[in-house]
Amino acid sequence: RQNSTAELDKAAHLHPYTNARKLEAVGPRVMAEGDGIFVRDEQGNEYIEGLAGLWSVAVGFNQKRLVDAAAEQMAKLPYYHVFAQKTHGPAARLADKLVELTPEHLTKVFFTNSGSEANDTVIKLIWFLNNALGRPEKKKFIARTGGYHGITVASGSLTGLPWNHASFDLPAIPVRHVTTPHAYFFAEEGESEEAFAQRLADEIEATILEEGPETVAAFIGEPLIGAGGVLVPPAGYWQKVQAVCHKYDVLLIADEVITGFGRTGKMFASDTFGITPDIMVLSKQITSSYQPLAAIMMTDAIYQAIADHSERLGTLGHGFTGTGHPVATAVGLENIAIIEEQDLVGNAAAMGKVLQSELARFADHPLVGEIRGVGLIAAVQLVADKSSRTRFDPEGKVGAFFFERAHDHGLIIRNIKDAIAFCPPLIITEEQVCEMVARFGKTLEDTLAFAEA
Q: Is 116 in the site for ligand PLP (CB under 6 A)?
A: yes
Q: Is 120 in the site for ligand PLP (CB under 6 A)?
A: no
Segment 129 to 168, residues that bind ligand PLP, using CB under 6 A: 148-150
* Nearest distance from C-beta of residue 214 to ligand PLP, angstroms: 28
Counting DSSP H helices and E strands in the chain, the numbers are 17, 15
Give the contact letters, 220-259, x = binds to ligand PLP (CB under 6 A), - = no. --x---xx---------------------------x-xx-
Give the contact letters, 298-337, x = binds to ligand PLP (CB under 6 A), - = no. ----------------------------------------
**Part of the chain binding ligand PLP (CB under 6 A), chosen from 108-116, 210-218, 301-309, 324-332:** 108-116
Q: Is 356 in the site for ligand PLP (CB under 6 A)?
A: no
The CB-based long-range contact list for 30-39 (8 Å cut-off, 24+ gap) reads 30/5, 30/6, 33/61, 34/60, 34/61, 34/62, 35/60, 35/61, 35/62, 36/60, 36/61, 36/62, 36/425, 36/427, 37/61, 37/424, 37/425, 37/427, 37/428, 37/432, 37/436, 39/412
**Part of the chain binding ligand PLP (CB under 6 A), chosen from 3-11, 40-48, 114-122, 246-254:** 114-122
**Which letter, b or e, does each residue of 66-101 get, where b requires 16 or more Cβ atoms within 10 Å of its Cβ?**
beebbeebeeeeeeebbeeeeebebbeebbebbeeb
Task: State the residue number with the nearest CB to ligand PLP.
Answer: 115
What does each C-alpha distance from 249 to 179, 255, 270 come to in angstroms?
21, 19, 20
* Nearest distance from C-beta of residue 263 to ligand PLP, angstroms: 11
Please state whether the peptide bond connecting residue 171 to the residue before it is cis, i.e. omega within 30 degrees of 0: yes
Query: Judged by CB under 6 A, how many residues of this single chain contact ligand PLP?
Result: 15
* Nearest distance from C-beta of residue 393 to ligand PLP, angstroms: 25
Q: Is 414 in the site for ligand PLP (CB under 6 A)?
A: no
Interface contacts to ligand PLP, rule CB under 6 A: 54, 114-116, 119, 148-150, 222, 226-227, 255, 257-258, 283
